[in-house]
């Protein structure tokens, strides 16, 4: 029953390791987009413009309520219909970045809302400018409560990268499937992919918890 072949394992491992690089790159790029765009979404909902707040709010809800894999297809295939061709990587990064930006904007919103009103008032009483208040007073305090959520979504985006395989991004899952269809062996490639994911996401999650405590201490919050 346990028909595990080690020679085959060693043979395919290099290809999987290279693909892991692509997976990490996809997660990294996607996360960078999400971190910045998420902040834009969160701050847009704090502007006095009700229309802007409403539109961004609804867009975030929509993105959060629909499947990422469908969004990936949508971004990749709808462009060409209107004469705009996107490479799998570009389409994938837009879709995954946008998807997680919606999630991160909620994390930021929670963090910003958790800063007590008195902090804004103290900043006003010291005549600090709005920019200075945001960057020196509010964001440093909004950050620690956001870190856990930000960390979760970093691991989350990493685990969602296999969906990029559906439009042909050569990440781990795509490579494992290719190996499977070439050799008709699925046990080793798919199991290895699972192990690689575990080996990266578990330590990352633990590392994030340590980092979170470190930041709190660094800011003198605990």
DSSP 68-99: HHHHHHHHHHHHHHTT----HHHHHHHHHHHH
d(CA 96, CA 102): 10
d(CA 93, CA 83): 19
Shortest distance, position 89 Cβ to other proteins, whole Å: 18
Nearer to other proteins, 108 or 197 (CB): 197
Nearer to other proteins, 18 or 70 (CB): 70
3-state SS assignment for residue 46:
coil
Residues of the shown chain interacting with other proteins in the complex, contacts defined by CB under 8 A: 1, 3, 61-62, 64-71, 73-74, 77-78, 80-82, 116, 118-119, 121-122, 124-129, 132, 136-137, 140-141, 159-163, 165-166, 173, 176-177, 180, 186-187, 190-191, 193-194, 197-198, 201-202, 205, 219-222
Eight-class DSSP state of 166: G
d(CA 148, CA 145): 7
Shortest distance, position 67 Cβ to other proteins, whole Å: 4
The pair of three-digit structure tokens given for residue 50, joined into one six-digit string: 């009700």
Shortest distance, position 41 Cβ to other proteins, whole Å: 17
Shortest distance, position 99 Cβ to other proteins, whole Å: 10
Nearer to other proteins, 40 or 70 (CB): 70
Nearer to other proteins, 49 or 58 (CB): 58
Dihedral-angle region of residue 220 (phi above 0 means left; psi in -120 to 50 means alpha; beta otherwise): left
Shortest distance, position 28 Cβ to other proteins, whole Å: 17
Contact 147, 212 (CB under 8 A): yes
d(CA 96, CA 67): 11
Shortest distance, position 154 Cβ to other proteins, whole Å: 14
């Amino acid at each position: 029953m346990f028909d595990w072949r080690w020679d085959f394992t060693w043979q395919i491992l290099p290809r999987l390791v290279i693909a892991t690089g692509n997976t990490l790159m996809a997660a990294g790029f996607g996360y960078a987009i999400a971190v910045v765009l998420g902040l834009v979404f969160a701050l847009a909902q704090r502007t006095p413009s009700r229309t802007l707040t409403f539109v961004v709010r609804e867009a975030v809800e929509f993105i959060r309520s629909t499947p990422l894999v469908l969004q990936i297809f949508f971004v990749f295939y709808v462009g060409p219909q209107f004469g705009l061709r996107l490479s799998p990587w570009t389409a994938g990064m837009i879709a995954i970045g946008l998807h997680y930006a919606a999630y991160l904007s909620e994390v930021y919103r929670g963090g910003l809302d958790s800063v007590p009103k008195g902090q804004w008032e103290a900043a006003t009483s010291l005549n600090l400018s709005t920019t200075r208040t945001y960057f020196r007073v509010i964001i440093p305090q909004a950050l620690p409560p956001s870190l856990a959520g930000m960390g979760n979504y970093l691991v989350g985006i990493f685990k969602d990268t296999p969906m990029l395989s559906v439009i042909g991004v050569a990440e781990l899952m795509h490579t494992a499937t290719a190996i499977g269809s070439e050799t008709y062996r699925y046990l080793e490639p798919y199991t290895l992919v699972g192990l690689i994911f575990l080996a990266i996401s578990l330590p990352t999650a633990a590392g994030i918890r340590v980092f979170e405590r470190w930041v709190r201490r660094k800011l003198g919050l605990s």
